[in-house]
Amino acid sequence: MPESGLHKQFDLREERIAILKRYALLLRAWRFPKDKKEQQLVRKALNLAVEAHKDMRRKSGEPYIYHPLEVAHIVASEIGLGTTSIICALLHDVVEDTDYTLADIEDLFGEKVAKIIDGLTKIKGIFDFTSESAQAENYKKMLLTLSDDVRVILIKLADRLHNMRTLDAMSPAKQLKIASETTYLYAPLAHRLGLFSIKSELEDLALKYMEPEIYRTVSQKLKESEEERNAFIEEFIHPIRRALTDQGIPYEIFGRTKSIYSIWRKMRKKEIPFEEVYDLFAIRIIIESPLAKEKTDCWRVYSIITDFYRPNLDRLRDWIAFPKSNGYEALHATLMSHTGKWVEVQIRTRRMDEIAEKGYAAHWKYKDNGSESGLDDWLARVRELLEGNTEEDALDFLSDFKLNLFHDEIFIFTPKGDMKTIPGGSTALDFAYHIHSEIGNTAIAAKVNLKLVPLSHVLRTGDQVEIITSRKQKPKAEWLKFVRTAKAISYIKSALKDDRQVYFDAGKDKLERILAQLSIEPTRPVIIQIQRYTGRTNLIDLYFDFAHDLLGMKEVRECFGNPEKNNWFRKISRPFTRQSKPGKSLTEEVEDTIKKNKGDFLIEGSKASSSFDVSPCCLPIPGDEIVGFISPGEPTRLHRSNCPEAVRLMSRFGDRIVKTNWMSNNADVFLSGVKLRSIDRPGLISEIAAVITGQYGLNIKTFNLSSTGEVCDATIMFMVTGTQQLEDTIAHLRKIQGMQRIERIGMEAGTAV
């Protein structure tokens, strides 16, 4: 065995050099002022980590120590944290994975480091629970830990970023689990903490694993258009460059391309091809300016560029006077270029730029400014939410909380002129709860800009709001119909909570009676369809609203295609629906197809079981990226991998996912469909039908439409062999004169998080 021994020796020496190289890079990235003692501590942490992980390898076969070293590098260079965080990053997996204990760490590095490592070790288990509520409990715990020391979450984000960068080595099922957790939780957290570049990279990497085909296509197109884009940018900035130089303002100016994920999100939201995304890039101007002159200098630059290009005043954004609550400051202007294209220009100082890219960590660096309050505010809000309602269902809390993470923000003034930041779309009542729970609970009306309005009034940035209260007032169930913020929802629900179980049963009864009247069986897919239609994502809300007559026969009927309305149309629709038995609802069609398809197609998966069914929430067809969910005793359920429901499930029940593929040579047909809106005119319907039945002779299952006389909305379900047929058909439908909007059925309400 001498030879292999020698070989191993050689490898170890190579690896030793690789470790030292990474260490040197770390030291270079660590730009904080540091003394000898600090340097010694970091070296001590490295030595301990090397020793502790010495027999461990990553999935890729590399020595494990590369991982903590890379995480420390991200912490230093991309988040801009200092000594303590670097030490903690180096040691973050030691207590969890090796024989060293927390007490050892405390002996060697002190209490502060030990506390952060403890936090990091604890939040590690968050996604390792199979029960959904245990999971939500853990998330709640993590957010509490987070308010103890933000560094825990910052290091955790760095850890996640490195794991995402090295995801290739994992099994496909693991990749999906980790990628969906990332979109579901980590990217929004990074966003909220103002870590813009980390958020973008996490989103892009998650997309790469969840929808490889889309990721490849968009990045390919970006590459192909690069030269043209660069030429355009050069021409656009040429006169600005000269003027800035003449004025003696030190600056940096360049074009910055949107991330792949945000381009894709835009394509989906606006239903446009890549070529029509007009804001693929923005021009960024970064100037050197002392703190006291920042505002004046940024506006001076604005004045210079508007000498050359006409601005669109509706899209001027002043985030210097009104910074976003994640700390973002800049001036955004949209200008008309000489070639007739709108171009966004972002004007920032060096300080603002660092904060925009690195978030709160950069704030600490500019401490003199004293603007750490945004983060403190946010953490205080989280804590309040967590502690204020400890009995609240942890799952509700999780979805309400996520609601708040994604909203844009507006600025509202109190009667005394204090400015408050609240989520966009908030109503007067949300604002009341934002001020204080008691004000919310007793609110009866509001004055917005001195005019009396109901509590449901939606506020806009700049409004001045006064809440009128009455001691006799009590929270009402109807309020849940219009409030938007997690805080308001949670206070109202907890005020009504005692009655919740009663309402749950009553609401369930009532819905079942309505369904019975319509001869629809209350199966799971039926309930899901009603949930989707009404936007009530959890059952408690759904039944609560039925119990309170906030939902009723009308909504259920609409949800299932309103068979009695539009009698005139029934005549027209008959020819298209003749293949199906009369009187069948859309849901029954879906159910039938699912039954029929069961076991008809084969999917490959690591834990392949013998039967499958297609999830009605996203109706996957061959050509879609799909995942399967295993539930004991039930057929494996297939979802499209970008289905919001699937993302939610994957992030919570990671170990029940099987990565699945369609069998390539399948001749079966699957239920799919489109929803469209067109200008109504004679002959429109037959034209639509001709397109669908034309080229591929697709079999139409149902054809529902309603018309106001001017605009016609239609939902058409038909059978296809896969995405190619569906896309071709949609492309043809798009060409119909007067067509305004068309989208595939399945995830209309869903925007991937």
User: C-beta of 544: minimal distance to Mn ion in Å?
Assistant: 41
For Mn ion, which stretch binds (CB under 5 A), given 159-167, 236-244, 465-473, 542-550?
159-167
**Dihedral angle over CA of 570, 575, 581, 582, nearest 10:** 20
Q: Helix or strand or coil: residue 518?
A: coil
User: C-beta of 362: minimal distance to Mn ion in Å?
Assistant: 24
Q: What are the residues whose beta carbons fall under 8 Å from the beta carbon of 337, sequence distance 6 or more? A: 232, 236, 309, 343
Amino acid at 44: K
CA separation for the pair 49, 100 (Å, rounded): 10
What tokens does 280 get? 């693929």
Question: Are the C-beta atoms of 479 and 455 separated by less than 8 Å?
Answer: yes
13/57 with CB nearer Mn ion: 57
CA separation for the pair 137, 141 (Å, rounded): 6
Measure the CA angle with vertex 229, ends 225 and 230; round to 5°: 120
User: C-beta of 71: minimal distance to Mn ion in Å?
Assistant: 6
CA separation for the pair 351, 363 (Å, rounded): 9
CA separation for the pair 144, 46 (Å, rounded): 29
User: C-beta of 50: minimal distance to Mn ion in Å?
Assistant: 15
- Report DSSP state, residue 486: H
For Mn ion, which stretch binds (CB under 5 A), given 154-162, 569-577, 613-621, 701-709?
154-162
CA separation for the pair 398, 141 (Å, rounded): 12
164/614 with CB nearer Mn ion: 164
Q: Closest residue to Mn ion, Cβ-based?
A: 159
User: C-beta of 63: minimal distance to Mn ion in Å?
Assistant: 14
Q: What are the residues whose beta carbons fall under 8 Å from the beta carbon of 86, sequence distance 6 or more? A: 26, 30, 42, 45, 72, 75, 76
User: C-beta of 53: minimal distance to Mn ion in Å?
Assistant: 11
Q: What are the residues whose beta carbons fall under 8 Å from the beta carbon of 186, sequence distance 6 or more? A: 157, 160, 202
159/589 with CB nearer Mn ion: 159
Q: Which of residues 196-225 bind Mn ion (CB under 5 A)?
A: none
Tell which one of 70, 78, 159, 541 touches Mn ion (CB under 5 A): 159
Q: Helix or strand or coil: residue 421?
A: strand
Q: Which of residues 331-350 bind Mn ion (CB under 5 A)?
A: none
Question: Are the C-beta atoms of 700 and 693 separated by less than 8 Å?
Answer: yes
69/343 with CB nearer Mn ion: 69
CA separation for the pair 3, 7 (Å, rounded): 6
- Give the number of residues in contact with Mn ion, rule: CB under 5 A: 2
Point out which residues pair with 702 in neighbouring strands: 717
156/640 with CB nearer Mn ion: 156
Tell me the torsion sign for CA atoms 585, 586, 588, 589: positive
For Mn ion, which stretch binds (CB under 5 A), given 146-154, 155-163, 376-384, 576-584?
155-163
159/329 with CB nearer Mn ion: 159
56/380 with CB nearer Mn ion: 56
**Dihedral angle over CA of 23, 24, 25, 29, nearest 10:** 100
88/627 with CB nearer Mn ion: 88
Q: Which of residues 81-100 bind Mn ion (CB under 5 A)?
A: 93
CA separation for the pair 89, 383 (Å, rounded): 25
By CB under 5 A, residue 70 contacts Mn ion: no
49/590 with CB nearer Mn ion: 49
User: C-beta of 313: minimal distance to Mn ion in Å?
Assistant: 48
Q: Identify the residue whose tokens are 């996520």.
A: 402
Amino acid at 621: I
124/348 with CB nearer Mn ion: 124
- Report DSSP state, residue 275: G
User: C-beta of 65: minimal distance to Mn ion in Å?
Assistant: 11
Cα of 42 vs its chain's centroid, Å: 36
Q: Identify the residue whose tokens are 């995801």.
A: 167
161/547 with CB nearer Mn ion: 161
Tell me the torsion sign for CA atoms 362, 365, 371, 376: positive
x/- letters, 113..152, toward Mn ion (CB under 5 A): ----------------------------------------
Q: Which of residues 677-706 bind Mn ion (CB under 5 A)?
A: none
User: C-beta of 92: minimal distance to Mn ion in Å?
Assistant: 6
The helix (run of H) or strand (run of E) holding residue 628 is: strand 626-629
DSSP track, 211-234: -HHHHHHHHHHHHHTHHHHHHHHH
**Where are the extended beta strands (E) located within 688-745?**
699-707, 711-720, 739-744
User: C-beta of 97: minimal distance to Mn ion in Å?
Assistant: 9
Catalytic residue IDs: 96-97
User: C-beta of 144: minimal distance to Mn ion in Å?
Assistant: 21
Instruction: Please give the residue ranges that form the binding site for Mn ion (CB under 5 A).
Output: 93, 159
